[in-house]
Amino acid sequence: MVIVMKPGAPQEIIEKIEKKMISLGCEVHKSQGENYCLLGLVGDTRKINPSQIEANPYVEKLLRVQHPFKLASKLFHPEDSIIEVDGVKIGGGNITIMAGPCSVESEDQLMTIAYAVKKEGAHMLRGGAYKPRTSPYSFQGMQEEGLKLLKKAKEGTGMPIVTEVMGQDTFDVVEEYADILQIGARNMQNFSLLKRCGKSTRPILLKRGLSATIEELLMSAEYIMANGNPNVILCERGIRTFETYTRNTLDLSAVPVIKELSHLPIIIDPSHATGKWSMVEPLSKASIAVGADGLIIEVHHQPECALSDGAQSLKPEKFARLMRSIEKIAAIK
């Protein structure tokens, strides 16, 4: 951490801050320039409350050196984490494909899609039972009924289940049925929910918020890990930009960035990122080429009848083609 004092900061104030920092257990190295005085802090800076330093009217700014996450950091855990769910491995060089409908709509719909994606090589089944919708008047999901159907689909196909948990009130029931619990982009900084995830025995699929930085995503992973659950899978699903032709902008550079910063697996959701089925295949190929650990893809046999997100759902035959494309790219990595 580096404290930059304002030009003209009185010597006694600078000394007072130095003493305070030393008393908190830091070493302080002062560099006095013509205009600015810098205080370089090394040692254990965890006891420092940055807000209190910045509140000093003679402090220009605080420059941070170290990333604020530890458990999620590659620095302290250099090997890639591999998360295993019912025999499916995520991370560590494996490419894991999660596929299924946006929402569970009926037994017939779910079974048709589940068997179709299984046949093409998907490893896990996705499907929403509790749906976060921008409008209170939109379909909110089949709820527990949907969870029961997911369980049935798992029994039939053998694929483990990933489904979203939206709040603490429904956490226990979702946890009972799901193999991986998904936290949606809009809940990425719902800290109460993250703490609850920390107490869960299920792995968490944590989606990046719409305008979140990668550091903020990793801090949300840190919340879960610091509360007791080390099994976090990160998911890039597009960020909000000024571009309107796609729903969001898929940030594929997040993959090599996260590989530098963290040991956690990172998967890509090209369906929500683009909002258009025609863009899912090219961006899936790019995702594998850039080094992602997997994909989560929306598939529906009748997109025009889907209760949500039909425009971004692939029909099973398009999903089949996509699987063949990415296999070839995965093979040459």
Q: Residue 11 or residue 66: which is nearer to a second copy going by CB?
A: 66
- Does 7 interact with a second copy (rule: CB under 8 A)? yes
Provide Rg for the chain, Cα atoms: 23
Cβ-based nearer residue to a second copy, 12 or 304: 304
Distance from C-alpha of 287 to C-alpha of 284, rounded to nearest angstrom: 5
Nearer to a second copy, 116 or 288 (CB): 288
CB of 89 to a second copy, least distance (A): 22
Q: Is 329 in the site for a second copy (CB under 8 A)?
A: yes
Mark 145-184 with x for binding to a second copy (rule: CB under 8 A) and - for no binding: ---------------------xxxxx--------------
* DSSP class of 84: E
Q: Which is nearer to a second copy, 54 or 176 (CB)?
A: 54
Say whether 38 sits in a helix, a strand or coil: strand
User: Do 139 and 147 form a contact (C-beta atoms < 8 A)?
Assistant: no
Each residue 240-279 as x (binds a second copy by CB under 8 A) or -, in order, gives: xxxxxxx--xxxxxxxxx--xx-----------xx--xxx
Which one of 10, 84, 158, 192 is in contact with a second copy (CB under 8 A)?
A: 192
Closest CB to a second copy among residues 119, 133: 133
State which of residues 24, 111, 289, 320 lies at the interface with a second copy (CB under 8 A): 289
Element housing 161 (H / E): strand 161-164
Both tokens of 229, joined, read 């659950």
For residue 32, the one-letter residue type is: Q
Asked if 232 and 194 count as a contact pair (C-beta separation under 8 A), the reply is: no
Q: Identify which range of 85-93, 116-124, 130-138, 175-183 contacts a second copy by CB under 8 A.
A: 130-138
Which residue from 236, 230, 168, 248 is spatially nearest to 207, judged by alpha carbons?
Answer: 236
What SS3 class is residue 238? coil
